[in-house]
Amino acid sequence: MRTPLVAGNWKMHKTPSEARVWFNEFLDELGPMPEGAEAAILPSFPLLPVAAEELAGSGVFFGAQDVSAHDWGAYTGEVSAYQVADLGAKYAIVGHSERRKYWKEASSLVAEKAKRALEAGLVPIVCVGEELEVRERGEAIPFVVDQLKASLEGVRPERPEGLVVAYEPVWAIGTGKTATAGDAEAMAEAIRSVLAELFGPEFAEEVRVLYGGSIKPENFAEILAGPNVDGGLVGGASLKVDSFLSLVKTALNR
């Protein structure tokens, strides 16, 4: 049984002091993290020490929005996966559509970042997804399948729990548009087929596949109902305590 994961990607939002307030309010409302689902917050790099301090012992995890493809060295502005892991982080997003779009990150680079995350003991959340024109041509599934294979080239997680894949249709991120539950399930099923091809069917059955793209409390239960969708990579709805808490409770009630 795969444990649902609700991962909040804060992107470039909140100051350290604002993050501290959010964590305190969220944990006060949540109480001890119940069994049956997992929650994680992925803030920007300056907020990671705050997350480590405030979430310690809470049962709520945290991680980074990106890591370098390099272990160490003279790479100004980069952040090593080992630095993130040393803070106590569990997760690292790699290949988010905004990194692919604005920084022109190729899937080959995403694969290298996933490898560094695994080597440091982090769980990479590997993101894949298509632009609107690809979906309108009816090529969404072949596109994402190819992108995922390239993004996992040479990536060898030792266990299924050590990898998460997030399907985020680019046309639905921050636009208010959401893929239908059927679209999300169909893509998650295709993703799991790729994982079975790469790692074997038993391994693939245990890897969590998330949906990300304008998730809200109003639509999350329907999206999460698909047998191959195991949670959400949440953007805007993770910035407010009440909406993120609602998503976590929905996952708990799956």
Residue partners of 221: CB distance under 8 A and separation at least 6? 250, 253
CA angle, 163 then 16 then 247, to 5°: 50
Decide if 162 contacts 118 (C-beta within 8 A).
Answer: yes
Map tokens 């190729």 to a residue.
106
Task: Say whether 98 is catalytic.
Answer: no
Q: What is the Cα–Cα distance from 209 to 231, expressed in whole angstroms?
A: 7
Distance between CA 155 and CA 146 in Å, rounded?
15
Choice among 38, 54, 105, 168 that is catalytic:
168
3-class DSSP state of 128: strand
- Listed in sequence order, the DSSP H helices in 200-240 are 201-206, 220-224
Task: Collapse the DSSP code of 96 into the 3-class scheme (helix H, G, I; strand E, B; otherwise coil) and give the result.
Answer: coil
Cβ count within 10 A of residue 45: 14
For the question of residue 53 being annotated catalytic, the response is no
Phi-psi region of 244 (alpha: psi -120 to 50; beta: other; left: phi over 0): alpha
Of the candidates 38, 54, 96, 105, the residue annotated as catalytic is 96
Residues that are catalytic: 96, 168
